[in-house]
Amino acid sequence: MAYLRQGMLAIAAMLAAAISVGAASPQPCVQDTFGGEAYIVCTVEKEGDLRLFWKNADGEPYRDFSSVAEAVRNKGQTLAFAVNAGMYLPDFSPIGLYVEDGQELRPVNRTERDGAASGPVPNFYKKPNGVFFIDGAATGILPTQEFLKRRSEVRFATQSGPMLVIGNKLNPIFIVGSTDRTRRGGVGICADGAVRFAVSEDRVNFHDFARLFRDHLSCPNALFLDGGRGVGLYSPALGRNDKSWHGGFGPMFGLVE
């Protein structure tokens, strides 16, 4: 009986350890809902290894998540999830500022569009646009003009637009009940210090998408990344490996483990 009791205790200990390990390593991407709309939300904790990826070792754009995952795997690591990191040109190059591993590969885009003569203003140029950056242990999102005043070196940065949430306030250009609805992707720096990415599964307008970050995810600053068929997500745990409809993505965010 003593041996049986010891064996049962050993099994119980192993089960407890397994549960503990599982609890300590939650999946970064989960399904969520807000305002009756479906989203995928991916969280990077403060200690997470979040990076930007654009070109491979041969100097060619990765273009798809699988290529980034393979490059990470060849270095003995795992790509936990990835999303596209903002708008890009037909050659898959970033429209605005892009910094990777401390190297500025594209400068800040200072172009302004008023839409008076040339039709609707493209999303990137809607005011204010902004910059997501990682600077040592600090991660932030600032309107582009404020980022330029900061004038410090960063390890990673990408410029996109428009800003969704600025200092816990919604961007005032957004219209309540707007019929401009499409799939959208964005990123926020949240009250607990985590970085949260959100990809809508349904069509949403800018106002509702910004409210997701401020009112549901508790992110006082958030930036729009891309929309429509340009939205992409890679999450092995959720069985997602989205493909771009026009041949590839430009820069991509990836959480490396």
User: What beta strand segments (E) does 130-220 contain?
Assistant: 130-135, 138-143, 156-160, 163-166, 169-170, 184-189, 195-200
Q: How many CB atoms lie within 10 A of CB 161?
A: 27
CA angle (169, 174, 180) in 5-degree steps: 145
| 127-152 pLDDT tens trace | 999 999 999 778 999 999 999 998 77
Report the run of H or E that residue 52 belongs to, with start and end: strand 49-53
CA distance 92 to 71: 18
- Whether residue 170 contacts residue 164, with contact meaning beta carbons closer than 8 Å, is answered with yes
| pTM of the full structure | 0.89
Q: Is the pLDDT of residue 122 over 70?
A: yes
For residue 252, the cross-strand partners are 53, 84
CA distance 38 to 245: 22
Collect all residues with Cβ–Cβ distance below 8 Å to 202 and sequence separation of at least 6.
37, 38, 183
pLDDT band at 6 (very low <50, low <70, confident <90, very high): very low
